[in-house]
Structure 1
Amino acid sequence: MTESPAAVPLPRDRKNRRIVDLDVLTSHLGYSLRRAQVWVFQDFIRTLSVIDLRPAQYSVLVVIGANPGLSQAELADRLAIERARLVHMLDHLQRRGLTERLPSPTDRRTHALQLTREGQKMLRRAKALAARHEARLTEKLGPDARAQVLELLQVFVRK
C-alpha cells in the first residue's frame, strides 16, 4: 500500500483565500468565455433588477422596439430563443403591459409584436441602466480592449 504524498499547503491571496491552480483551464477559450459571461450576466441581472427585468426580457424588448410588427417566429429565430420559451416570456411581458400582439396585416396565422407606451417607457429606462452596465465593462477592460472583444465575438452573433 502506497502512502499519498503529504499535502502541500496552497498559497493564499490577499483575502487569505487559497489560490487554486486551474492548470490547462486557463488556456481553454470556452472556460474563459464562460467565466466572463458569468461575471457579465451577474452584473447585468443586478443592474436590471431595479426595474424587475431579466436580460432575455431586455433583449426581447430591444428587438421589438427596433422592429415593430415583427412576428414571434422571426423574433425567436433572431434571438435564438426556443419558441415555447418565447411565448411564455411574451405572455409575461404582455401581462405587465409592456408588449402587445396584434393581428398581422400580412398573415392571419401570426401576430405582429409591438411595445405599448409603458413598454417604450420601460425600454428607455432599461437602455439607460444597460448603458451603466456597459460603462462598467469598459472600465474593467478599457475602451480599446472592449471594442476589440466585441468585434471578435460578432462572428458568433452574425446570421
Structure 2
Amino acid sequence: MTDIPAADPMPRDRKVRRSIDLDVLTGHLGYSLRRAQVWVFQDFIRTLSVLDIRPAQYSVLVVIGANPGLSQAELADRLAIERARLVHMLDHLQHRGLTERLPSPTDRRTHALQLTREGQKLLKRAKALAARHEARLGEKLGPEARTQMLELLKVFVQK
C-alpha cells in the first residue's frame, strides 16, 4: 500500500505568515517604488484585461491619440521604449486594427502614426477603465498624497 500524503489542513493563503525582517530595504526608495509599481501594474493589468490591452500598449495608444502623425522614433524616445520592441508592439496594434502607419508628409523615411476609428473607440473605453484604476489609487493614497506623489515623481518622467 502506498502512503498518500494528507492534504494540507490549512490552505496556503490562510497560513499565518511569519514576520520577515526587511532590514535596510524599508529605507530604500527604489525598493519601495518597485513594490508600489508591482501593485499598481497588477491592478492596471487586471483593469485593462477586458480590452486585451497591456499597460505599455495603453501608453502607446494614448500618446498616438494625443499626437496624430507622431513618428515611431519620437514615440519610442518619449515613452523610453526600445525601438525594436515598439515596432513589434505597433505591428500587433496595427494587426488588431487599432493603429496605422501612414507615409510622413515631411520625411519619406518615416511613418506618421495614427489611431484608426476602432483604435479611438478602444482608447475611449481604456481611458474610462484607467480612470477607475486611478480612483482606486487615489483611495489608497488619499487625494493630497496622490497629488504630492505625482509632483515628486515628475523629476523622473519629464525630459
For 1:38 and 1:62, how far apart are their aligned partners in 2?
Answer: 21
Q: Which amino acid aligns with 2:84?
A: A
Q: TM-score, normalised by structure 2?
A: 0.90
- Corresponding position of 1:115: 115
1:135 is aligned to 2:135:
yes
- Corresponding position of 1:31: 31
For 1:157 and 1:16, how far apart are their aligned partners in 2?
Answer: 39
For 1:65 and 1:15, how far apart are their aligned partners in 2?
Answer: 47
- Corresponding position of 1:43: 43
SS at match of 1:18: coil
For 1:73 and 1:23, how far apart are their aligned partners in 2?
Answer: 43
In structure 1, runs of 5+ residues without a counterpart are 1-13
Shift of 1:19: 1.1
Shift of 1:35: 0.3
Q: TM-score, normalised by structure 1?
A: 0.90
SS at match of 2:26: helix
Mapping of residues 1-159 of structure 1, within 5 Å: 16-159=16-159
For 1:15 and 1:37, how far apart are their aligned partners in 2?
Answer: 26
SS at match of 2:101: strand
Q: Which amino acid aligns with 1:87?
A: V
In structure 2, runs of 5+ residues without a counterpart are 1-13
Q: Which amino acid aligns with 2:133?
A: H
- Corresponding position of 1:3: none
* Identical-residue share of aligned pairs (%): 90
SS at match of 2:102: strand
Shift of 1:95: 0.3
Shift of 1:97: 0.2
SS at match of 2:21: coil
Shift of 1:17: 1.2
Shift of 1:69: 0.1
Shift of 1:15: 6.2
- Corresponding position of 1:8: none
Q: Which amino acid aligns with 1:26?
A: T
Report Cα offsets for 1:6-27 as digits up to 9, x if no partner: xxxxxxxx96211111111000
SS at match of 2:51: coil
